[in-house]
């Protein structure tokens, strides 16, 4: 083997016939002539969806429901809602994320004047907002009669009181009027709300019929979260996981109605007729819906799913901290090698890949992105944050939260749906491919997210490039070099030689 200058090229490093993971190598630094803030972390999640941060939360039942999905989207990434839920509940979680932030509420919940405060409270509880238009007959886009907000009903003791007696009528409302077929821009709506000092702006056509609704709170959210991942309606992006069984077609239809942006086909081994057939079905029924297929670890697996119509690939098998697939099933691949080899195959077709598993810190993220990943999927790194499902508990004075693999017996039996990820057919005996455990409280994702973003910018700066797109290009042409690490070198690179120390991930002024 010949060595051209310092270090190894990626091709040299991964042609040694050994499976490598993130701790087995380092990226050699290059010249810096820019600030870390200049690093652009924009990336492709799928063929058509772009993110401002390359972070995706894993569809695990102890990681991603609505609170995590909202937090991920606000910080520039995206959350994938797990499918260890009844179909209607998973769709409701997706809808809650889409409703959290609306540039315009195109199909606002409405009530009639004959409905009651109790009906209003039910919508407030379900949807999370209280500016409810009152229309003639309670029709979704009927003639607007008035508006009821939370403060209008807060002190009403009789929940049977009709909303017609409490609503602010049209004569007292600030409204925007447009002609049928025309639109009011978001900036115009914000300006009208600002001048009128109102929280909600109904937009009506020339017949007085409700076209849409704008919210001042959503306008403020735009300023607070400039990295937010948004669709073309200015709603938060959100994904959902499903299986590939026949009954998953009904689940898929419900998720589409809820407004899901991307579907993840959730399988530990995605190179199967089940997944190929489901991709083809999905693309036929919902041609514009983006689908992430996988999991895969070889170029051949990747090529099969890309040919079937996959818009992105999820890469990794047995590398998660709570996954024991490699141990139990004797199949899989070390994650560094898997990302590099699948990345090369997918790049030929212009298909993004998501490195899923084995991410323990920001350094692992930067290595995954350098080797060919466009995004990384996070599970254990997010476990224990306050936005994950479940309650905290104490053990030996330490505040903990449950974290379990979707292949654990607990997840497969308690949730009911996750067994599909590991079983290709009905089986009487379930073989665990994951474990259950607990992790220490990490605080809020709203503080942890900015730390991840900033840490990744600094990593790209040290490598010497202003984006990981550029890093990947320079990896492929051999400009960016790597160094293998021995066990002693890995120990040297970590904390050592101290009697004790305190591990603090980040300091925040938030």
pLDDT per residue as tens digits for the range 99-123: 776 667 777 788 999 999 888 887 7
CB 366 within 8 A of CB 27: yes
User: What residues contact residue 424 under an 8 Å CB cut-off, 6+ apart?
Assistant: 272, 274
Tokens 């070889």 sit on residue: 298
Give me the helices (H) in 136-269, please: 150-153, 186-196, 216-224, 248-258
pLDDT per residue as tens digits for the range 180-228: 666 677 778 888 888 888 888 888 888 898 988 887 766 566 667 889 9
Q: What is the pLDDT of residue 424?
A: 44
pTM for the whole thing?
0.75
Structural domains of the chain sorted by starting position, each given as residue range(s) with its CATH number in brackets: 10-100+228-493 (3.20.20.70), 117-215 (3.10.580.10)
CB 102 within 8 A of CB 221: no
313: closest CA among 284, 293, 287? 293
Question: Phi/psi of residue 79, each to 5°?
Answer: -105, 145
Q: Which residues pair with 240 in a beta bridge?
A: 81, 263
CB 341 within 8 A of CB 14: yes
Distance in angstroms (rounded) separating the CA atoms of residues 98 and 74: 12
CB 80 within 8 A of CB 240: yes
- Residue of 67, 251, 421, 472 marked catalytic: 421
Taking CA 86 as the corner, what is the angle to CA 429 and CA 65, rounded to the nearest 5 degrees? 105
SS3 helix, strand, coil % of the chain, rounded to 5? 35, 20, 45
Q: Is the peptide bond before 295 cis (omega within 30 degrees of 0)?
A: yes
Q: What is the pLDDT of residue 2?
A: 44
Distance in angstroms (rounded) separating the CA atoms of residues 22 and 257: 40
Average pLDDT value for residue range 290-300: 95
Q: Could you confirm whether 323 is annotated as catalytic?
A: yes
Q: Burial of 479 by CB count in 10 Å (0-12 exposed, 13-18 middle, 19+ buried)? A: middle
pLDDT per residue as tens digits for the range 51-98: 999 999 999 989 999 989 999 999 999 999 999 999 999 999 999 898
**Cα dihedral 349, 354, 356, 361 in deg (nearest 10):** 130
- Residue of 323, 333, 404, 481 marked catalytic: 323
Q: Could you confirm whether 43 is annotated as catalytic?
A: no
């Amino acid at each position: 083997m010949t060595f051209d200058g310092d270090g190894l090229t990626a091709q040299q490093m991964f042609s040694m016939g050994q499976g490598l993971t993130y701790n087995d190598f380092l990226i050699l630094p290059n010249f810096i002539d820019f600030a870390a803030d200049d690093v652009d972390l924009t990336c492709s999640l799928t063929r058509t969806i772009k993110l401002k941060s390359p972070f995706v939360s894993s569809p695990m039942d102890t990681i991603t429901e609505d609170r995590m999905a909202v937090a991920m989207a606000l910080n520039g990434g995206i959350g994938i809602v797990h499918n260890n839920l009844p179909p209607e509940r998973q769709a409701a979680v997706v809808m809650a994320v889409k409703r959290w932030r609306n540039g315009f509420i195109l199909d606002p919940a409405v009530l009639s004047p004959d409905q009651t405060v109790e009906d209003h409270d039910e919508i407030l509880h379900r949807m999370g907002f209280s500016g409810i238009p009152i229309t003639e007959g309670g029709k979704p886009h009927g003639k607007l009669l008035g508006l009821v907000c939370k403060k209008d009903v807060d002190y009403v003791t009789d929940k049977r009181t009709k909303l017609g007696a409490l609503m602010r009528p049209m004569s007292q409302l600030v409204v925007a009027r447009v002609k049928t077929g025309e639109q009011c821009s978001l900036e115009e709506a914000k300006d009208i709300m600002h001048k009128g000092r109102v929280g909600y702006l109904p937009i009506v056509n020339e017949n007085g019929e409700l076209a849409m609704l704008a919210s001042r709170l959503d306008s403020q959210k735009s300023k607070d979260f400039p990295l937010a991942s948004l669709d073309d309606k200015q709603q938060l992006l959100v994904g959902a996981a499903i299986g590939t069984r026949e009954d998953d077609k009904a689940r898929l239809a419900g998720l589409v109605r809820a407004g899901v942006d991307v579907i993840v086909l959730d399988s530990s081994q995605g190179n199967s007729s089940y997944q190929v057939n489901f991709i083809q079905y999905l693309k036929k029924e919902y041609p514009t819906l983006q689908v992430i297929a996988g999991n895969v670890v070889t170029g051949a697996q990747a090529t099969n799913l890309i040919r079937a119509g996959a818009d992105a690939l999820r890469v990794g098998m047995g590398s998660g901290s709570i996954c024991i697939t490699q141990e139990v099933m004797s199949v899989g691949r070390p994650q560094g090698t898997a990302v590099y080899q699948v990345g090369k195959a997918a790049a030929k077709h212009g298909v993004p890949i998501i490195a899923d598993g084995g991410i323990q810190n920001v350094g692992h993220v930067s290595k995954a992105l350098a080797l060919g990943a466009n995004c990384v999927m996070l599970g254990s790194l997010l476990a224990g944050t306050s936005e994950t499902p479940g309650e905290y508990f104490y053990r030996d004075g330490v505040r903990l939260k449950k974290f379990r693999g979707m292949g654990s017996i607990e997840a497969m039996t308690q949730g009911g749906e996750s067994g599909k990820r590991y079983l290709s057919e009905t089986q009487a005996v379930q073989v665990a491919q994951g474990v259950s455990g607990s992790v220490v409280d990490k605080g809020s994702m709203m503080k942890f997210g900015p730390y991840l973003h900033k840490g990744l910018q600094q990593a790209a700066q040290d490598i010497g490039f202003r984006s990981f797109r550029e890093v990947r290009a320079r990896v492929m042409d051999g400009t960016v070099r790597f160094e293998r690490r021995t066990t002693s070198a890995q120990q040297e690179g970590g904390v050592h030689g101290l009697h004790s120390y305190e591990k603090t991930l980040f300091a925040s002024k938030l």
